[in-house]
Chains A and B, each alone.
Chain A
Amino acid sequence: MNEKPEKLIDKKGFRLDGRKADELRPVKLEVGVLPNADGSAYIEHGKNKILAGVFGPKEMHPKHLSLPDRMVIRCRYHMAPFSVQERKSPAPSRREVELSKVIRESLEPSVFLELYPRTGIDVFIEVLQADGGTRCASITAASLAIADAGIPMRDLVVACAAGKIDDTVVLDLYDAEDKLGAADVPVAIMPNLNAVTLLQMDGILAPEEFENAVNMAIEGCKKIYALQKEALKNKYTITKEEAEEE
């Protein structure tokens, strides 16, 4: 992918990786993968491989960071040095600091923060392999990890991006499309409550293209949401089957 291909989308409407415009990359989710964390999840979204671990709720350390009226969420998004082709310095970059904040803010509305004042939870997101759209995949995994930790939530948060390549609005951009394309719109939603918790745009879109992209991203989110629920239930399937016997 060092040279820019002439077209990102061919005459038949297929993209460089063979997907159609409104097609997601394959998504695989697993819950409870880290026994040492209170809650954890793993996502494979196309070539993205991301681990999320949650600790808490517990007393905040240092104590002055705690709030008297609600729980605090601390979030760290981090890319492993081997997650990209050129070694990434393990020190948090400007981009990672910003993504940590953006992810935290997209998760906060989903958690009943007001129930447990003066406490905090830590969300650690480790990108093992990146291929575009890691913030969305991170949000999806982190939300599952929070649910796995048994923290009360309004809904699971699920995220997906849409964007524009070669004058076409497409779903779920991967690295090359993201870099060479015209725009990228990541969206995170709480599907059951019909609420958007993250909406960003990088690039330029006409108003109707933007609307189209957002709707497309929401459709993508709903597809991933089904997988998310299934992954969470899978961890307890044995529980369910045996409970039905009673």
Chain B
Amino acid sequence: MRIMPTYFEKKQLVTPGELLAEGDYLAGENTYLEDKKIYAARIGLADVDNKKVNVVALRAFYIPKMGDIVIGTITEVGFNGWSVDIKSPYTALLRASDVLSRPFKPQNDELSQVLNAGDLIVAKIASYDRAHDPQLTVGEPGLGKITRGQIMRVTPTKIPRVIGRKGSMISTIKQETGCQIILGLNGVILVTGKTPEDEELAMMAIRKIEEESHTSGLTDRITQLLKEEKAKREENKIE
């Protein structure tokens, strides 16, 4: 059997260009293969998962992927659609025919009355490849114009942490605050609650997750934090 060394410890902080492994390994996320050697391509934490060497990036930006749910801002109303800023290097396009769900006639429909510049939407990436800008779709339940709630941004790489293992983190926050939360994979989060106070509470929890995303036992700490904050607010109300 051939020797297949790796040159890092689990969760070691690595810099771009650092040699990670040699031989019979696969280059996973944020790594690259050259001369049968695997190097890191971003600053992050290295890990091996079943022969696949990955680096969990500490800094990254959002690159669209088909099927991703994202939250974006309308930046421009065009002739047959809208340009949408999805906090990515690429501007997304939303076609008029997709929103109107009937054939679009420029002479009958005034697009800015449906969605205007500055409006926020929840959408799904319908298509994207390196030659074309991403296309969005809102033709599914839960997608479309955002009418109420608050928006916040986190680093896109932290979204999985906000979701938690099997969604444990996000369901905790939803339960404790009674808020609806939509996570855009582009790092934009929509929080909708019954009162602005509930929304503030949920946003505070999410901000804490972003700051401490690399620590363990976070779900429990968040639960506790939310309970304490709620108790505090109850007291204030009585006074």
Of the listed stretches A44-52, A147-155, A164-172, name the one at the interface; the rest are far from the partner chain: A147-155
- Min CB distance B127 to A, Å, is 16
> Is B57 in contact with chain A by the CB < 8 A criterion?
yes
A161 to B42, CA, bound (A): 27
State which of A3-11, A82-90, A100-108, A112-120 sits at the interface with chain B: A112-120
A59 / chain B contacts, CB cutoff of 8 Å: 89-91
Number of A-B residue pairs having CB atoms within 8 Å of each other in the complex: 96
B89:A152 contact, CB within 8 angstroms: no
In whole angstroms, how far apart are the Cα atoms of A233 and B19 in the complex? 15
**Is A58 located at the chain interface by the 8 A CB criterion?**
yes
- B79-125 with Cβ < 8 A to chain A: 89-91
A68 and B129 CA atoms in complex are apart in Å by 12
Q: Is A2 on the interface with B (CB-CB < 8 A)?
A: no
CB-CB under 8 A from B233, the residues of chain A are none
A182 contacts chain B at the CB level, 8 A cutoff: no
Q: Which residue of B lies closest to A157 (CB)?
A: B17
When the two chains form their complex, are residues B131 and A68 in contact, meaning their CB atoms are under 8 A apart?
yes
- Whether a CB of chain A sits under 8 angstroms from the CB of B43 is yes
- For B, the interface residue count at a CB cutoff of 8 angstroms equals 31
Chain A contact residues (Cβ within 8 angstroms of B): what range?
35 or more
Contact (Cβ within 8 A) A232 B90? no
| A208 located at the interface, meaning its Cβ lies under 8 Å from any Cβ of chain B in the complex | no
Known: A116-B63, A150-B59. A239 touches B13 (CB 8 A): yes
The answer to the question of A156 belonging to the interface, with a C-beta cut-off of 8 Å to chain B, is: yes
Does chain A have a CB within 8 A of B216? yes
**14 sample A-B contacts, Cβ–Cβ < 8 Å, listed by A number:** A39-B59, A57-B89, A118-B90, A147-B15, A148-B59, A152-B16, A153-B41, A154-B34, A236-B13, A236-B43, A237-B13, A239-B45, A242-B212, A245-B216
Interface, chain B (partner A; CB < 8 A)? 11-13, 15-19, 30, 32, 34, 39, 41-43, 45, 57-61, 63, 89-91, 130-131, 212, 214-216
Told that A150-B43, A193-B34 touch, could you supply 12 new A-B pairs with CB distance under 8 A? A59-B89, A117-B130, A117-B131, A147-B16, A153-B42, A154-B16, A156-B15, A191-B17, A192-B18, A239-B214, A240-B13, A246-B216
Chain A interface residues toward B at CB < 8 A: 38-39, 56-59, 68, 112, 116-119, 147-156, 190-193, 229, 232-233, 236-237, 239-240, 242-246
